[in-house]
Amino acid sequence: MSKKVDDFVKAFVSLSDSEKRQVFQMVKVMETGSLQEKRFITDSIGLESLSTTVNFAPTPGGCPACGR
């Protein structure tokens, strides 16, 4: 497994049953929900937009993917 998956599983195991149900609900919406439902979740937890555009503006510290 990747480090991200390992970290996710470790965090998931530490959740209460109620929190685990919330995770399942969010994953279900992200997999099968409408674009509006997906945007609501991404906005509510502070994720980037689901749009397909790419922002090439300079960022402090450089690109998180390549470091440039």
Query: What's the domain range around 28?
Result: 15-47
Residue reference for tokens 């929190």? 19
Residue type, 13: V
Per-residue pLDDT reduced to its tens digit, 26-67: 999 999 999 999 888 888 887 765 555 566 666 566 665 666
Handedness of CA 46, 42, 10, 1 (dihedral sign): negative
Residue 42 covered by a domain = yes
Give the CB-side neighbour count of residue 58, counting CA atoms within 13 A: 3
Q: Is the pTM of the predicted complex or chain greater than 0.85?
A: no
In whole angstroms, what separates CA 29 from the centre of its chain?
Answer: 12
pLDDT attached to residue 63: 63
Contact between residue 15 and residue 23 where contact means Cβ atoms under 8 Å apart: yes
Number of domains in the chain: 1
Per-residue pLDDT reduced to its tens digit, 5-16: 999 999 999 999
Residue 35 covered by a domain = yes
CA pair distance 23, 28, nearest whole angstrom:
9
